[in-house]
Chains A and B, each alone.
Chain A
Amino acid sequence: MSVIFKKTAGLTETDTHYCPGCTHGVAHRLVGEVLEELGLLGDTIGCASVGCSIFSYNYFNVDMIECSHGRAPAVATGIKRTVPGKTVFTYQGDGDLAAIGTAEIVHAAHRGEHITVIFVNNAIYGMTGGQMAPTTLSGQKATTAPTGRNAELSGMPLKMSEMIAEVPGATYVERVSLHHPKYIRKAKKAILRGFTYQLQNRGFSMVELLSTCPTGWGLAPVAALEWLGNNMIPYYPLGVLKAPEEV
C-alpha cells in the first residue's frame, strides 16, 4: 500500500486549539509543507505573534519565539541579523500587523530584512472575541462596531499589502485567499515563493492570506468561506502586488 497523503512533518502532533472551520489551520499546514519541501525545518526560527495564532509555537515543527503584540518583525530582525543563515518568519494576524505593529512591519520591510511574513487577515480580532480590526470591512459588524464599521468614525479598512508593496525595501508582496481549494493551492505557491526569495537573500517578502474567523464573524464554517469570497476579495483584490523582475 502506498501513502498518497500524509500530514506534513512541518507540523507537530499537537492538536490545534483553532475553532472548527478556522483557516488558521490551513495556513499552518501550507507553511509547514513549504518548509518541509524546502528542507528547512531544522534551520528555521519562527516568530509567533499575539492573536489566536500565539500557540503556533506548539504547532510548527521548528524553533519558535513568542513576541509581544505587534513586535514580531522587530524580533525577527534581531534573529536574522544574528543568525543570517537561518530562515526566519513571522506569523501575524491583522490586529497584530495592521494595528499595534504597523511601525514594526513597515520598518522591517523598509530595511529590506531577509525575512518572510505570513500575514493572516481575517478582518477581525479573533482572540479577544471579535472586536473591530483596521481591516474590518465597511459595514461589517464587530463587538466594538455593533452597528457595523462606520468609515466616518473609524476610516476605511486598511490595505496593508498595497502599503507594504510601496515600501522600497519590500521585495515580494502577494495577497492570496484560503476560502477554496483552488485558491489554497495558489496560496501555497505564494508562500513557497516568499521563502524562496528569503533563501536567495533577495529581501523582505510578505504573503497576505485572506482568512476566516467563523467564531468572530458569527457564521458557520461554510458560510464563512462564502462570506470571505463574496465580501473580502472585492475589497482586497488577490494577486502579486510586488515581485522582483525575473531574469
Chain B
Amino acid sequence: MGRTLMKGNEAMALAAIRGGCTHFFGYPITPQNEIPELFARELPKAGGLFLQAESEIAAVNMLYGSAAAGARAMTSSSSPGLALMQEGISMLAATEIPCVIVNVMRGGPGLGTIQPAQSDYFQMTRGGGNGDYRIISLAPATVQESAEMMQKAFDLSHKYRTPVFLVSDGMLGQMMEPVEFLIPPSTKPAGDQSWVLSGHQGRRPPRTIKSLRLDPAMLENHNLKLQGKYSRITRRESQFESYRADDAELLFCAFGSAARIVKNSVDDLRQNGRRAGLIRPMTLWPFPFPAFRVLPEKCKSLVCVEMSCGQMVDDVRLAAGGRVPVHFYGRCGGVIPEPAELSEYAEELIVGGAV
C-alpha cells in the first residue's frame, strides 16, 4: 500500500484490522472518534463486526464476552471513558482474556478538556480497577509507531493472555503523518484456545471463565500465578528508545507526544553545546527500568517532561534511585509544551548549576 498520509487514529484502526481484529465495541468520545468511525466503515467489509455500545461500561463488557468467545476484539476510548471501563479491565486481567484497549488521552480531571494530555499515566500503569493486576501499556510517539504497536498489541495480548493498552493522546491521534504498513497481516488468534467458550458439544466438561475465588488460599494462588506472568512480562517486554543519550549530562525522560517535542529541544541544546539526551519509554508498563540501570557516565541530572502535573516522574525517581537529582517539567490541561520552553528550562538548570 506504500506510504500514505493519515491520522494517528486512522492508522491504529487500520493496523488493528491488519492485526486480525474482527470485533470492535465502543462509545463515542473526542478525540478518538476516527477509530470507531473507521471500524464502522471498514470492519463489516472485512467480515468483522462493529457495534456501538450504550456506554463504555457496556463496551468493555461486550469486549469481554467477545474475546471470551475467541474473537480478536478491541475497544477504544479517551480518558473519562477509560475511567468508566476500569471495573471491566480488572475483570479482563483477572480472567486473563486477551484483547486490546486504546486510550487517546485528553486532559482531566473530570471532563477536563478534549485537548491532548498525558495525565492518564497512572490510569494506564497503576490500575484504576480493583485488585493486584498489571496491564501492558504501549506508548507510541509517531503515527507509524501507532500502527506498528497496534499490530504488536494483539500478539502480546495473546502471547500472555492479558489485555493490552495502546496509549496515544489527542495530538498523536489527530495529527497526520506518512505511515507505511510493514508488518504482514495476521489472521488467526495465536496460541492456546483451551479457555475459549465454544459450547462443550457433550465432549468435554463445561468450561467457566470466572474471577471469584472465595477460598483465600485459592485466590492467593491465582494472584501468585498472575504475578508470575507479570514478572515474565517485566523481564522480557520493556522497551525504550535512547536518543543522543550516550554522553548526555542532562538526560530527559518523556514518552509519546512529549517525547517528540523533547527531541527538538535536545537538538537545540546540542547546537548550543549542551550535552542533552532523551530516554523515551515505549512501554509505560513494564516501565523500562533497564534503561536507567547504567546512566551515561557524565549524567548529572534527569529531567522528566510530561503533559501532566507529574505522574511518570514517580517511576523516573524510582529508576534514578537517588543517584542523580530528578527534575520535573510539565504542562497540563491540554497545553502542549514548546521545544523552546523546554530548552530554556534546561538552560536554567545548567546555568543554575543543577547540571
CB distance from B76 to the nearest CB of A (A): 15
B58 close to A61 (CB less than 8 A):
no
Task: Give the CA-CA distance A34 to B164 in the complex, in Å.
Answer: 39
A42 contact from B91, B200, B209, B211, Cβ within 8 A: B200
A62 close to B211 (CB less than 8 A):
no
Please, which residues of chain A bring their CB within 8 A of the CB of B64? 65, 67, 75, 78
B61 close to A66 (CB less than 8 A):
no
A103 contact from B25, B55, B202, Cβ within 8 A: B55
Binary contact track A20-52/B, C-beta < 8 Å → 1, others 0: 000000000000000000000111110110000
B209 close to A78 (CB less than 8 A):
no
Q: Is there a chain B Cβ closer than 8 Å to A79's Cβ? A: yes
The winner among A42, A75, A78, A111 for most chain B CB atoms within 10 A is: A78
CB-CB under 8 A for A64 and B202, given A75-B61, A83-B70: no
Q: Is there a chain B Cβ closer than 8 Å to A104's Cβ? A: yes
B208 close to A57 (CB less than 8 A):
yes
A41 contact from B55, B202, B209, Cβ within 8 A: B202
Please, which residues of chain A bring their CB within 8 A of the CB of B211? 66
Which residue of B is nearest A74, CB measured? B61
CB-CB under 8 A for A63 and B198, given A82-B69, A82-B73: yes
B208 close to A75 (CB less than 8 A):
no
Q: Is there a chain A Cβ closer than 8 Å to B53's Cβ? A: yes
Please, which residues of chain A bring their CB within 8 A of the CB of B198? 63, 83, 86
Q: Is there a chain A Cβ closer than 8 Å to B203's Cβ? A: yes
Please, which residues of chain A bring their CB within 8 A of the CB of B70? 82-83
Which residue of B is nearest A84, CB measured? B49
Please, which residues of chain B bring their CB within 8 A of the CB of A80? 65
The winner among A43, A58, A61, A68 for most chain B CB atoms within 10 A is: A68
Q: Is there a chain A Cβ closer than 8 Å to B352's Cβ? A: no
A82 close to B212 (CB less than 8 A):
no
Task: Give the CA-CA distance A42 to B69 in the complex, in Å.
Answer: 14
Please, which residues of chain A bring their CB within 8 A of the CB of B62? 74-75, 77-78, 81
Among residues 206 to 240 in chain B, which have CB atoms less than 8 Å away from a CB atom of chain A? 206-212
CB distance from B77 to the nearest CB of A (A): 15
Please, which residues of chain A bring their CB within 8 A of the CB of B66? 78-79, 81-82
Which residue of A is nearest B65, CB measured? A78
A61 close to B206 (CB less than 8 A):
yes
Task: Give the CA-CA distance A111 to B58 in the complex, in Å.
Answer: 13
Please, which residues of chain A bring their CB within 8 A of the CB of B149? none
Q: Is there a chain A Cβ closer than 8 Å to B199's Cβ? A: yes
Please, which residues of chain B bring their CB within 8 A of the CB of A67? 61, 64
A66 close to B200 (CB less than 8 A):
no
B197 close to A79 (CB less than 8 A):
yes
Task: Give the CA-CA distance A57 to B202 in the complex, in Å.
Answer: 16
B200 contact from A47, A62, A71, A78, Cβ within 8 A: A62
CB-CB under 8 A for A74 and B206, given A43-B201, A68-B87, A82-B66: no
Q: Top 7 A-B pairs ranked by shortest CB distance?
A: A78-B65, A74-B61, A78-B62, A78-B66, A75-B65, A66-B210, A107-B54
